[in-house]
Amino acid sequence: MPAVLLRVNGTTHELDLEPQVSLLDALREHLGLTGTKKGCDQGACGACTVLADGVRVNACLALAVQYEGREITTIEGVASPLQAAFVAHDGFQCGYCTSGQICSAIGMLAEHGDDVPSAVTEHLAAGGVELTDAEIRERMSGNLCRCGAYNGIVAAIKEVAGADAAARVPAEAAR
């Protein structure tokens, strides 16, 4: 089995992994980092969202070997005001989608900070897209919440995005 060097939450791990092991299973089953969840294993729910160099990815659709040399951040490595905001706004019930929602929100805020447009952005050229509820909802739609905590999640993201621009910097979360 090939040895894979995975850098997760600032620590480098050497793992013997079959090439078909997904990044998600490497995290959960090999590193014991079970904060990242599996909801579908098919890229359809977003529960497995982690950050790779600050960019959100579905870890179930990623092979671990592809991520050698990348800086992976999982919920265990996140320290973001989003977490307290999720609690305050009750942005979850069962908590199973929550790690993915928070990692996704961090990645989403970074994309928004980089002026990446979404499907509901009206003026692509404008730059500085206003982060409206509709923008947040569209950009977070890859993260399902069957408990239906969507209103709380949007409120939490909005609060953090509005209150503290620094929360948009993914490097901060990864530190």
| C-alpha torsion 104→107→113→119, nearest 10 | -50
Per CB under 6 A, which of residues 111..170 are in contact with ligand FES? 145-147, 149
| 144 part of the interface to another protein, by CB under 8 A | yes
Shortest spacing between CB 141 and ligand FES, in angstroms: 12
Task: At 92, list the tokens.
Answer: 């979850």
Work out which of 4, 6, 8, 47 binds another protein, going by CB under 8 A: 47
Residues in CB range of 168: below 8 A, 6 or more apart: 109, 110, 112, 113, 161
Residues 76-105 that bind another protein (CB under 8 A): 76, 78, 81, 83-90, 92-99, 102
Spell out a b/e string for 146-166, using b for 16 or more CB atoms within 10 Å of the CB, else e.
eeebbebbbbbbbbbbeeeee
- Residue 38 or 168: the one with the smaller Cβ distance to ligand FES is 38
Q: Site residues (CB under 8 A) for another protein?
A: 18, 20-21, 25, 28-29, 32-45, 47, 74-76, 78, 81, 83-90, 92-99, 102, 133-134, 136-138, 140-155, 159, 163
